[in-house]
Amino acid sequence: MMRPIASLALMVASLVVTPAFAQSTSDPVSTATFPVTGEVPDLCILGDPRIDGSNASINIASINGRVIRIDTLTDPISLTTRGTEANLAFDAVCNHAYSVSIESRNNGLWRQSVDAPVPAGFANAVPYLASIAWNEKAAELDADARTRSPKAAGFTSLVANSGTLSLKLRILPGTTNIPANAPLLAGDYGDIITVTLGPQ
């Protein structure tokens, strides 16, 4: 009864050794290679603005969505422009060479009643400065309110970047579209600022 078991064990050992010997001396190893590919599109992503906690804003009532609301546009005594500063931050990323631009639709904060007459000595627009910075590059837009028309500024980079893009909006006290310290006419004032991050 013991021999069949021993014989069977020997036969199994022989079957294991023989293919290995034959493979190493006569059969070449077969291999197959194939590439795995993918593609990343050119993308630039700009998040919603938020108040920059590292820089204090002055005379800003709120930022709701993408609307910046100035608290008090006029000085309560002289009725001329009150100083204002808004510091905003955006989460941004661009995985290729890019350009950044900032555009003012009206070149200043203009009174919404376009056709209303402007009495002598009064102002109907407020100039401002807007600067944008990212990755140690910056541009400044001087919205001087001399004419009501679009105005833009910006910069480019050959290197991809990610991080916080900052925007500063600054209104100097007493600045208007006529000589300094003129009183502002009553009404709603506004402008549309567009920040664009995209390919060169």
In a domain, 30, yes or no: no
pLDDT tens readout for residues 83-99: 999 999 999 999 999 99
In a domain, 20, yes or no: no
Report whether pLDDT(12) > 50. Answer: no
Map 81-150 to HEC letters: ECCEEEEEEEEEEECCCEEEEEEECCCCEEECCCCCCCCCCCECEECEEEEEEECCEEEEEEECCCCCCC
In a domain, 36, yes or no: no
The whole-angstrom separation of Cα 76 and Cα 40 is 55
pLDDT-derived band at 55, boundaries 50, 70, 90: confident
Judge whether 194 and 102 are in contact, CB under 8 Å: yes
In a domain, 114, yes or no: yes
**Parent domain of 106:** 44-199
pLDDT-derived band at 53, boundaries 50, 70, 90: confident
In a domain, 102, yes or no: yes
In a domain, 12, yes or no: no
In a domain, 151, yes or no: yes
> What is the residue-wise DSSP string for 22-59?
HHHHTPPPP-------------EEE---EE-TTS--BS
Report whether pLDDT(10) > 50. Answer: no
Q: How far is CA 200 from the centre of its chain?
A: 15
pLDDT-derived band at 189, boundaries 50, 70, 90: very high
In a domain, 113, yes or no: yes
The whole-angstrom separation of Cα 198 and Cα 93 is 10
Res 7: pLDDT: 28
**What's the number of domains the chain is made of?**
1
pLDDT tens readout for residues 121-168: 999 999 999 999 999 999 999 999 999 999 999 999 999 999 999 999
- Residues whose CB falls within 8 Å of the CB of residue 131, separated by 6 or more in sequence, listed in order: 138, 139, 140, 141, 167, 168, 170
- We report the CATH number of the domain holding residue 148 as 2.60.40
The whole-angstrom separation of Cα 91 and Cα 49 is 8
Res 164: pLDDT: 96
pLDDT cut 90: percent of the chain above it: 72
